[in-house]
């Protein structure tokens, strides 16, 4: 048993998720234990179908585990009634998805203010916060655009601003660059580095090496289980000039 540390934002113990029965039984997630410290950026990588998206859903309470527990900021998600879980999800978690999942009928600004309004913020407060967040992701001049009038990269930046609306304890991101071209990915990397520098705790599931490289800690997942963990923060690389071919 891992002892939960004081600075731990997320603590998952022995998480399992199974689908189907008998011969058709699929063990999507097997005995996963994970502690995420405040301010940490953790990347989970692995081939398609390794269970990393399912894991993210379990961590965010979007699916219930077959076994095991998830504690977010010290509260055990599985012991709560559904309504309370939904409240925690809205207040303490921010989600970023591969396909953005913006509301098509709402402007960028309205999309970003929505979570704050749902959590009970005043309309004026929610709007002020949303404007500030859109400015932070470099889209102040796109506030009144509908998602259909934005590029993929811009939509994802709106989605990140939305995820931050309630100053969540934890942001969960599922393949955030999966639908983006290389220059939009670069913009998103910049944003991830900024989030990280500001101390936002993030768990990201990805097979984009560039996103994985922004992490403090990298976890490799295969067949539903964690198979390797690498600390990237504080690691020493070959000198950049050697990587560039300037040194023999």
Q: Where does this chain bind another protein (CB under 8 A)?
A: 47, 186, 189-190, 193, 207, 209-210, 212-214, 218, 220, 222, 227-228, 230, 232, 235-238, 240-241, 243-248
The answer to whether 103 touches 113, Cβ cutoff 8 Å, is: no
Q: Nearer to another protein by C-beta: 25 or 240?
A: 240
Q: Nearer to another protein by C-beta: 78 or 223?
A: 223
Minimum gap (Å) between residue 197 Cβ and another protein: 11
Minimum gap (Å) between residue 235 Cβ and another protein: 4
Measured CA to CA, the distance from residue 172 to residue 204 in angstroms comes to: 6
Minimum gap (Å) between residue 14 Cβ and another protein: 23
Of 8, 27, 11, the residue nearest 59 (C-alpha): 11
Measured CA to CA, the distance from residue 54 to residue 51 in angstroms comes to: 5
Q: Nearer to another protein by C-beta: 47 or 120?
A: 47
Minimum gap (Å) between residue 192 Cβ and another protein: 10
Q: Nearer to another protein by C-beta: 105 or 193?
A: 193
Q: Nearer to another protein by C-beta: 83 or 246?
A: 246
Give the β-pairing of 75-76 and 67-72: antiparallel
Evaluate the CA torsion angle 35, 63, 227, 98 in order and state its sign: negative
Strand partners, 205: 44, 174
Measured CA to CA, the distance from residue 191 to residue 197 in angstroms comes to: 10
Q: Nearer to another protein by C-beta: 131 or 186?
A: 186
Minimum gap (Å) between residue 47 Cβ and another protein: 6
The answer to whether 47 touches 220, Cβ cutoff 8 Å, is: no
Minimum gap (Å) between residue 189 Cβ and another protein: 6
The two tokens of residue 213 are 């490289």
The answer to whether 40 touches 216, Cβ cutoff 8 Å, is: yes
User: 230: left (phi > 0), else alpha (psi -120 to 50), else beta?
Assistant: beta
């Amino acid at each position: 048993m891992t002892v939960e540390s004081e600075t731990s934002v997320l603590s998952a113990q022995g998480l399992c998720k199974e689908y189907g029965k008998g011969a058709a039984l699929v063990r999507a997630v097997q005995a996963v234990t994970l502690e995420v410290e405040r301010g940490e950026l953790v990347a989970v990588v692995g081939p398609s179908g390794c269970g990393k998206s399912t894991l993210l859903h379990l961590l965010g309470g979007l699916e219930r585990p077959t076994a095991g527990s998830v504690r977010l900021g010290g509260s055990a998600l599985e012991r709560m009634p559904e309504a309370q879980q939904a409240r925690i999800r809205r207040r303490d978690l921010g989600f970023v998805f591969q396909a953005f999942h913006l509301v098509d009928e709402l402007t960028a600004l309205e999309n970003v203010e929505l979570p704050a309004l749902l959590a009970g913020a005043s309309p004026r407060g929610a709007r002020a916060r949303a404007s500030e967040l859109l400015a932070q992701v470099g889209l102040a001049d796109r506030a009144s655009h509908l998602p259909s009038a934005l590029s993929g990269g811009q939509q994802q930046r709106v989605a990140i601003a939305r995820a931050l609306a309630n100053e969540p304890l934890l942001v969960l991101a599922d393949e955030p660059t999966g639908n983006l071209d290389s220059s939009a990915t670069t913009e998103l990397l910049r944003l991830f580095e900024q989030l990280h520098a500001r101390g936002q705790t993030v768990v990201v599931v990805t097979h984009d090496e560039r996103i994985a490289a922004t992490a403090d800690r990298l976890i490799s997942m295969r067949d539903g289980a964690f198979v390797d963990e690498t600390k990237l923060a504080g690691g020493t690389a070959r000198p950049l000039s050697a990587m560039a071919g300037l040194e023999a």
